[in-house]
Amino acid sequence: MSDSPSLDAFADSKLAEMDRAHLRRRLVITDPLGATEVEREGKRLLNFSSNDYLGLNRHPVLERAAMDAIEQFGVGSGASRLVTGNHPLFRELETRLATLKGTEDAVVFGSGFLTNSGVIPALMGASDAIFLDELSHACIYYGSRLSDAATHVFRHNDLEHLKELLEAHRGACTHAMIVTDGVFSMDGDLAPVGALVDLAQQFDAWLMTDDAHGIGVVGGGHGSSFENGKRHGVALQMGTLSKAIGGYGGYLCASQTVIDLIRTRCRTFIYSTGLPPASVAAAIAALDLIENDPEFAARPVTLAKRFTRALNLPNAESPIVPVILGDTDATLTAGKLLEDEGFLVVPIRPPTVPDGTARLRITFSANHEERDVDRLAELIRERVLNGDQS
C-alpha cells in the first residue's frame, strides 16, 4: 500500500519518461579489487572510468593514515566545525592545501559539490553577475542559481565571447565573478587560466577555477592554475579531495580574509558536519606522496597522451580523454563491447553532456599498464571508430 499514491504516480511517470528517452540511470555495485581492477556483475574489469587518477584509494600509506586517525579521533567528527567538529587534523590539511596552491589560507568542506554550492552564494548576491563557461560542472550552475545573481554563460573557452558579455553586463552589476572548470570534467581540456586572470583584472571580476580534475595530476601536481612552474593569480581555487587525492572532501584556497569570510558566512560550511578524521588524514598523506614524487603525479597524463597519440586524437592535456560518438545508443553499445573485452569505460550521455555529444569518457591512472592502454586504444580504433561492433 502506498503512503502517497499521487507521489508514486508522479515518480512512475517521470521514470517512464526517462526510460523512453534512454536517460534512466542505474546504480551498479562495483567492488574495487585493487588499484585498477573492479568486479561488476560477476565480471573482473580494468577500470578506465575512475577519477582516482593516482590509485590512492587503495594506497597502503593512505589506508594506514586513515586507520590511525580513526584510532585517535574516532569515525566521525560529531558536529559542525564551528561547534565541536573541528578536530586537530583540519588545520594541518588546510595549511598544506594553501602551500600547494600558493595561497594564504584554505578551508576544507564536506565535498566539492558542497564547496561550489556554498562558496558562490556566500560571495555573490542579487545585484551581482556571474559569468560561467557553458561546460562548467553541474554544482557550479547550482551554486550560481542559489546566489540570486544574474548568470551569463559564455561559449566553452571562448575568451572573445566572455569579453563581449563582460562589456555588456559588467557596468550594471556591483560585483562580478568568472567561474570555470580548470580541467573540464567531461572533455579533459584546460581552461585558458592565464588569459582569464587578465580579463578578470581588466573588468574587476573575481576569478574562480574548479580544479577537481587538476589537483594532483596537472601543473606538476599543483593543479590547473600552475603553468610551467608559474602560479597564475586565481583569486578563488576550489577543488575536491575525492578524485586524485583518493578519499573524500572539498576545499577552497584563497586569501586570508576571503577564507575568514567563508568560515563565518558560507552555509554549506556552517550547517554541515565536519569531514571524518580518516578522510582528512588520508588527504594529508596523499599530499605528501604528490609533493615528493612529481613523476608519479605526471604519469596519468603521460598515459593519456600515449592513448591520444595511438588514436590520432588531439594531444591529451589531462588524465581525461573523451571519444565522442554523438549518438547515445551507439555509445551504450560501445561501452558494452569494451566491457565484453574486460574494460570498464562507462558511457556518458545527456544531460551530463550536451545533446548529440554522448561519449566514452576514458580516464587514466598512474597504475595502468602501458600494454593495457595500448590494447584499449586498439579496440576502440578497430571495433568502435571503424564501426565494426559485431
Q: Minimum CB separation from ligand PLP for residue 212, in Å? A: 3
113 binds ligand PLP (CB under 6 A): yes
Q: And the C-alpha cell for 154? A: 559564455
**Long-range contacts: 22-26, Cβ < 8 Å, 24+?**
22/328, 22/329, 22/332, 22/349, 23/349, 23/350, 23/351
Which region, judged by CB under 6 A, interacts with ligand PLP, from 11-19, 108-116, 334-342, 368-376? 108-116
Task: Extract the runs of DSSP E, i.e. beta strands, from 48-120.
Answer: 105-109
Q: Are 200 and 194 in contact (CB under 8 A)?
A: no
- Contact with ligand PLP (CB under 6 A) among 209, 242, 268, 363: 242
Instruction: Pick the closer one to ligand PLP by CB: 242 or 331.
Output: 242
Q: Minimum CB separation from ligand PLP for residue 211, in Å? A: 8
250 binds ligand PLP (CB under 6 A): yes
Q: Minimum CB separation from ligand PLP for residue 250, in Å? A: 5
Give me the 169-208 binding string for ligand PLP, x by CB under 6 A, dash otherwise: ------------x---x-----------------------
Q: Minimum CB separation from ligand PLP for residue 389, in Å? A: 29
Whether residue 136 lies in the annotated active site: no
Q: Minimum CB separation from ligand PLP for residue 268, in Å? A: 11
Distance CA 166, CA 150 (A): 12
Under rule CB under 6 A, how many of the chain's residues touch ligand PLP? 14
Give me the 58-97 binding string for ligand PLP, x by CB under 6 A, dash otherwise: ----------------------------------------
Q: Minimum CB separation from ligand PLP for residue 137, in Å? A: 3
Beta bridge partners of 286: none
240 binds ligand PLP (CB under 6 A): yes
Nearest residue to ligand PLP by CB is 112
- Contact with ligand PLP (CB under 6 A) among 65, 129, 191, 212: 212
Give the gyration radius of the chain's Cα atoms.
21
Question: How far lies 384's CA from each of 10, 308, 338, 381, 390, in Å?
Answer: 38, 15, 9, 6, 10
Whether residue 213 lies in the annotated active site: yes
- Contact with ligand PLP (CB under 6 A) among 52, 187, 210, 317: 210
Reference 373, options 363, 388, 385; nearest CA is 363
Q: Residues of 79-91 as b/e, b for ≥16 C-beta within 10 angstroms?
A: eebeeebebebbe
Residues 6+ apart with CB under 8 A from 257: none
152 binds ligand PLP (CB under 6 A): no
Whether residue 185 lies in the annotated active site: yes
- Contact with ligand PLP (CB under 6 A) among 81, 137, 232, 368: 137
111 binds ligand PLP (CB under 6 A): yes
User: Of 59, 101, 213, 368, which residue is the catalytic one?
Assistant: 213
Cell 560571495, residue?
123
Q: Are 242 and 248 in contact (CB under 8 A)?
A: yes
Beta bridge partners of 86: none
Cis geometry, peptide bond prior to residue 294 (ω within 30 degrees of 0): no
- Contact with ligand PLP (CB under 6 A) among 55, 85, 112, 214: 112
247 binds ligand PLP (CB under 6 A): no
What does the DSSP assignment read for 283-334? Answer: HHHHHHHHHH-HHHHHHHHHHHHHHHHHHTPSPPSSSEEEEEEE-HHHHHHH
Q: Mutual orientation of helices 294-311 and 277-292 as an angle, nearest 10°? A: 80
User: Of 136, 243, 318, 365, which residue is the catalytic one?
Assistant: 243
Residues marked active site are found at 185, 213, 243
Q: Report the interface residues with ligand PLP, using CB under 6 A.
A: 111-113, 116, 137, 139, 181, 185, 210, 212-213, 240, 242, 250
